[in-house]
Structures are given as structure tokens and as C-alpha cells.
Amino acid sequence: MSENRTVLKVLRGEAVFPPPLWMMRQAGRYLPEYRATRKRAGSFLDLCYDPDFAVEVTLQPIKRFGFDASILFSDILVVPHALGRDLRFEEGRGPVLTPITAAEIGLLKTETFHVNLEPVYETVRRLRTSLPRETTLIGFCGAPWTVATYMIAGHGTPDQAPARLFAYREPAAFRSLLDILAEQSAAYLIRQVEAGADALQIFDSWSGVLDEASFRTFCVAPVAKIVSRVREVYPDVPIIGFPKGAGANYAGYRGETGVNGLGLDWTVPLEQARQLQAGGAVQGNLDPLRLVAGGPALAEGVDAILGKLGGGPLIFNLGHGITPETPIPHVEEMVRLVREAKR
Ligand code: CP3
């Protein structure tokens, strides 16, 4: 039963060795079976909104590698899409949205939000019944700041300058956008837990571009709100926060947001990671390019993490998503290195 889910044990603060492992973006283009299903589905969004396809691709990496956690297959941008913003994914370009203006923020459609996301909830329900009992099912959402950056710019940017400028020039409108996203994302996560998610992860992929004050108001405060809303309904559900690139701002993040687990990107020094582990579980943080390179770069990266963090609560993961060019034998090698590790 769920007592055997090692990822949940670690998130409660237990040290498990060898540590449980999974990979961010584990269902993705590096897998030929993912590329085949994606082709059958048509577009990326068709894949996200069709429970048959979404379940199929979520299970692919579990079948192949036997990871300890399965993350729902979807995207952080289904939230603005479900609020009525248009969204498409272009080959080689990533997500494209119509940039939102200050005047449009009040027009976001919250009434049909859950109806639009029903296929995602159905996917979660089916996953919980299809997954091995010992596999933790992770639901997720994007953090309001990261989701807002895409809504404002309309596409990915290297430094999120459009969103930062919007936030400084139109502070009231920006605050209301973050508020709406926090409330809706909390409701979205609550539904995912209701449907069978055992744990949740909040992705703040762009928290590394902000100054100290903006990190507090744009990243910490909205995530703290989501965590408290979810905990009003599910006081015990474990939540992993991933403030990618937060650097020195990682130190206060767990305490200030209330998350149980801290997702660490690969730039976090392992000594700092060890100190963060004194406060609870950490997840990470292999450089995804060590996995692309394989060989000694991979073995040394895995060893360093296990050596420094293996004695405490650790979920082994990459420091960001796996990239499409990663060779599958390198993933198999990483799984072997972690699973056969000795203390
Ligand atoms: O981790 C998983 O396996 C679960 C599924 C998942 C996806 N996106 C699938 C996806 C999750 C958790 C995400 C999160 C996500 N999406 C984030 C936060 C984490 C991060 O990576 O920083 C962000 C910023 C997005 C927005 C997004 N979606 C971008 C920028 C892109 C284009 C980049 C790319 O890799 O193509 C996507 C597309 C996307 N989301 C793909 C997948 C598997 C690739 C789409 C394809 O099949 O072509």
C-alpha cells in the first residue's frame, strides 16, 4: 500500500538508501515510444487533454525504468489555457500564447476552469489505478510567477524581461494576476489530490531572475498561499517546491512557503544542499548534461550527490528536465548507479 511508497517516506523526513529516484520530464522526446504516441495524438495539447494518450505516455518511463515516482503528464500552461488564454506549442519554438494586457486580467474565465481541466483529473484517476502500488503519483502545477512570465511575454525568453517590466510598471494588475493564479492553482492541485495524486510539485522555473524583494513577493508569497489553501483541505499531502535558480534564496524557502521538499537545481552546491537537508527532504540535483554526456561525467555526478546527501532524506533527480538528446543507455546507467549504490 501507500506505506511502501519510498518517495512519500522521504518527504516525511526519513532517510532511505539507496534513495528513490525519478526524473523531471521523464515522459518526453528522448523516448521513441513518447515520440510515436505524440505523433498519433496530433498536437502536444491533444496529448495533454486526452486521458488515453496522457495515461499512456505517463506510464512509458515507469515501464521502461521502474522509477519510484510517476509525474502526471500535462504542462504548467494548461492553467492559463483553462482560464481562457489561447495556447499552442510550435515545433522547435515551445509554447506560444497571446500576451495578456493589464485590462485582460479581470476577464480571465474562472467559471469554466475545472470543466476545462476535467480530462487532467480523469488522467490522474486512471493513473492511480494503473500504477504499481509502490509508485508515488505526483501531481503538479507551475508557480504563479513562472506561469505569469509566459502569459505576459507570450513565449519563453532568456531573462523574463517582459514580465519583470510589467510587474514594476503595473504593480496592481500584476498582483491581481498572481492572486488569481495562486487561487486557481490551489484549486487545481486540490482536485488532483482528490483524483488520486499522493504528492504535489510546484515548478517555479524562473525564480532565478528576480532580485531579493521580488523573489519574496512574486515567488515566495504566492507559493505560500497555494500551500496553505491546499493544506486547509489536505493537511498531510506532501508538497515539493522547485524554485529553480533561487541560489541564496533557497535558504528561507521551505520555512516561508511551508513546502515539505525542496527541489534543487544543479547549480546548488552540495554543501549548501546538505545544510538545506537538515530542514527536511531535498530532491535533485544532477546536471541534465552529465546524463547526456554519460561515462565518467555521469558516474562522478551521481557519486557526489549520493556521497554528500545519501545519509539524509533525498529523492534522486535531475536538477532540471531531461533533454531530448539524452541517450537511453545513459538513463539506464544512472538508474543502475543509484540502485546499486553502497553506503
Ligand atoms: O515532468 C514530466 O514528465 C511531466 C510533464 C511536464 C511537461 N512540462 C511536459 C512537456 C511538466 C511537469 C512540465 C512543466 C513545465 N512546462 C515547466 C516547468 C518545468 C521546467 O521545465 O522548467 C515549464 C516552464 C513548461 C512550459 C513548457 N512546456 C515549455 C517551455 C516547453 C517547450 C520546451 C520543450 O522542452 O519543448 C513545453 C513543452 C513540453 N512540456 C514538452 C513536454 C514533454 C515537450 C513537448 C513536445 O512533445 O514537443
Name every protein residue with a CB atom under 6 angstroms from any ligand 1 atom.
24-29, 38, 44, 71, 73-77, 89, 94-95, 140, 142, 146, 156, 203, 205, 321
Half-sphere exposure of 7 (CA within 13 A, CB side): 30
- What is the distance in A from the centroid of ligand 1 to the CA of 204? 13
Q: What is the mean pLDDT of residues 293-302?
A: 98
pLDDT digits (tens, 9 = 90+) for 193-229: 999 999 999 999 999 999 999 999 999 999 999 999 9
pLDDT for the residue numbered 209: 98
* Catalytic residue (one of 38, 85, 126, 191): 38
Phi–psi pair at 92, nearest 5 degrees:
75, -5
pLDDT for the residue numbered 92: 82
CA distance 215 to 227: 17
SS3 assignment, position 209:
helix
pLDDT digits (tens, 9 = 90+) for 35-93: 999 999 999 999 999 999 999 999 999 999 999 999 999 999 999 999 999 999 998 88
Q: What is the mean pLDDT of residues 320-330?
A: 98
Q: Name the closest-CA residue to atom 34, ligand 1.
A: 94
Residue 1 reports pLDDT greater than 60: no
Residue 138 near residue 63 (C-beta atoms within 8 A): no
pLDDT for the residue numbered 254: 98
Q: Which helix (H) or strand (E) holds 138?
A: strand 136-142
Q: What is the mean pLDDT of residues 228-240?
A: 98
Taking the CA of residue 140 as reference, the ligand 1 atom at the shortest distance is 12
Q: Percentage of the chain with pLDDT > 70?
A: 99
CA distance 305 to 92: 32
pLDDT digits (tens, 9 = 90+) for 114-168: 999 999 999 999 999 999 999 999 999 999 999 999 999 999 999 999 999 999 9
Say whether 75 is catalytic.
Answer: yes
CATH number of 72-238: 3.20.20.210
Say whether 29 is catalytic.
Answer: yes
pLDDT for the residue numbered 4: 86
Q: Give the orientation angle of helix 171-195 with respect to helix 113-130, to 10 degrees.
A: 40
Taking the CA of residue 205 as reference, the ligand 1 atom at the shortest distance is 22
pLDDT digits (tens, 9 = 90+) for 247-276: 999 999 999 999 999 999 999 999 999 999
Q: How confident is the model at residue 277 (pLDDT cuts 50, 70, 90)?
A: very high
- In 3D space, the residue among 45, 36, 41 whose CA is nearest the CA of residue 53 turns out to be 41
- What is the distance in A from the centroid of ligand 1 to the CA of 18? 28
CA distance 276 to 232: 26
- What is the distance in A from the centroid of ligand 1 to the CA of 278? 31
Q: Which residue has the cell 484517476?
A: 125
Say whether 159 is catalytic.
Answer: no
Indicate the pTM of the whole model. 0.97
pLDDT for the residue numbered 343: 85
Residues of the chain with CATH 3.20.20.210: 72-238
- What is the distance in A from the centroid of ligand 1 to the CA of 108? 23
